Amino acid sequence: MGFKLTAQEGQRLTTCMLAMRPDWTKNNPGQMLASINDGPGFPGKDFEHALRALAQYATARGGNGAHQYRTPEIYPREGKHWTDTGTADWTPPKPAPCPDHIGEPAHACRCCHADVKAGIRPAERIGKHYEPESEEEE
Ligand SMILES: [Zn+2]
């Protein structure tokens, strides 16, 4: 779903991260970025987008003047720092849709949750196709 960094881009991103936030050295961001890269990937377009998102994320200040993010943990997740810094030709990744309910994301489908409450869908079928067993079938 997300994009992947090359090994060199990963090293450069880690270097940039630590240049902006030396206090993150203890969070071992290189390892964190590598595990995201090996897994879901990043919710952006390319390496430059990752740099822009990083600059916004790493330098964001809260209302009290302190850094908004104390660790790099949330950086690889979807959020404003990615959506604000995307280019015009980039569309934020959409969450996978619920196969049973048009317009609902599978991971948080309101219709599936309502079905579970009503007892007509097992909880483990939230966001997954479910066909209740019908007595009319043979
Ligand atoms: Zn659903």
Q: What is the distance between the alpha carbons of residues 40 and 107, in angstroms, rounded to a whole number?
A: 15
Question: Helix H segments across the chain?
Answer: 7-20, 29-38, 47-59, 80-83, 110-117
Looking at residue 93, its pLDDT comes to: 75
Domain presence at residue 88: no
Q: What is the distance between the alpha carbons of residues 1 and 96, in angstroms, rounded to a whole number?
A: 10
Same-domain check for residues 15 and 40: yes
User: How many domains, the chain?
Assistant: 2
Domain presence at residue 1: no
How far apart are the CA of 93 and the centre of ligand 1, in A?
A: 19
Residue type, 60: A
pLDDT digits (tens, 9 = 90+) for 80-111: 999 999 999 998 877 778 999 999 988 889 99
Same-domain check for residues 77 and 134: no
Please check whether residue 98 is in contact with residue 106, taking contact to mean a CB–CB distance below 8 angstroms. Answer: yes
- Give the predicted TM-score (pTM) of the model: 0.69
Q: Which of 39, 63, 83 is the last residue of a domain?
A: 83
Same-domain check for residues 26 and 73: yes
Looking at residue 134, its pLDDT comes to: 66
Same-domain check for residues 52 and 17: yes
Q: What is the distance between the alpha carbons of residues 27 and 92, in angstroms, rounded to a whole number?
A: 27
Same-domain check for residues 71 and 117: no
Same-domain check for residues 26 and 75: yes
Domain presence at residue 126: yes
Same-domain check for residues 14 and 78: yes
How far apart are the CA of 81 and the centre of ligand 1, in A?
A: 29
pLDDT class of 135 with cuts at 50, 70, 90: low
How far apart are the CA of 101 and the centre of ligand 1, in A?
A: 5
Q: Which domain holds residue 112?
A: 94-138
How far apart are the CA of 131 and the centre of ligand 1, in A?
A: 12
Same-domain check for residues 98 and 31: no
Looking at residue 1, its pLDDT comes to: 60
Domain presence at residue 15: yes
Q: What is the distance between the alpha carbons of residues 104 and 112, in angstroms, rounded to a whole number?
A: 9
pLDDT digits (tens, 9 = 90+) for 4-44: 999 999 999 999 999 999 999 999 999 999 999 999 899 99
Same-domain check for residues 79 and 98: no
Pick from 95, 97, 4, 96: which is nearest to 45 by CA? 4
Same-domain check for residues 64 and 104: no
How far apart are the CA of 75 and the centre of ligand 1, in A?
A: 29
Same-domain check for residues 68 and 34: yes
pLDDT class of 136 with cuts at 50, 70, 90: low
Same-domain check for residues 98 and 124: yes
